[in-house]
Chains A and B, each alone.
Chain A
Amino acid sequence: DAKTTQPPSMDCAEGRAANLPCNHSTISGNEYVYWYRQIHSQGPQYIIHGLKNNETNEMASLIITEDRKSSTLILPHATLRDTAVYYCILSMEYGNKLVFGAGTILRVKS
């Protein structure tokens, strides 16, 4: 069973920031928060991951609450190509398998 809860779908206007929430109230101390996305009929794409500090890379920012029970993935300037299913997954950092939930369908609209 997935240990995260995400809204089933969200809409975002092109050029605006997309903020995707994820609840993980039962996260354990050594579990990382991973974000992947899957564009239709493609393999998932790694976005970002973090333990407790906020993280940023060229694709997105990850904001993790201080109690680590929830997080938000931020795509700063969404484009139509960001339309995808976004998965928030908990996993140990080294070599552990990923359990995919239903994810959030993000629709970026012009």
Chain B
Amino acid sequence: GAVVSQHPSRVICKSGTSVKIECRSLDFQATTMFWYRQFPKKSLMLMATSNEGSKATYEQGVEKDKFLINHASLTLSTLTVTSAHPEDSSFYICSALAGGRADTQYFGPGTRLTVL
């Protein structure tokens, strides 16, 4: 149980385009999901907290107009990287709080974004 998926697993795009990443909780409902970013040989950095039906809360230094988050249902949150640039190339990982107990975050497998 508590499986989280992400799609796509890898994406390559041209500079200036937008990319959407989906995060789904497959076997549970998640009122809260989190988005992280991880650069090579670095630890995970929290970008934002996504709550179903409300606006996301962004961490300091994360541009909300560049990283659009939509949590439209209890099983789906999306992260859209708008006008992507090479410096946005990174490993993007989502997590979801398991419904019911909500005491443990379960992570997706991550999405590798490369911006050319």
Binding site for B on A (CB under 8 A): 32, 34, 36, 38, 41-46, 49, 87, 93-95, 97-103
Contacts and interface: CB of A to CB of B under 8 A. Distances in A.
Q: How large is the interface on B (under 10, 10 to 19, 20 to 34, 35 or more residues)?
A: 20 to 34
Contacts of A45: 107
A95 B109 contact: no
Given A41-B91, A43-B93, A46-B107, 11 more contacts: A41-B110, A41-B112, A43-B95, A43-B110, A44-B44, A46-B2, A49-B104, A95-B32, A97-B34, A97-B49, A98-B105
Contacts of B2: 46
Interface of B: 2, 4, 6, 32, 34, 36, 43-46, 49, 91, 93, 95, 97, 102-110, 112
Contact of B43 (A95, A97, A102): A102
19 contacts: A38-B44, A42-B109, A43-B4, A43-B6, A43-B95, A43-B109, A44-B44, A44-B95, A44-B107, A46-B104, A46-B107, A49-B103, A49-B104, A95-B102, A97-B34, A98-B34, A98-B46, A99-B46, A101-B43
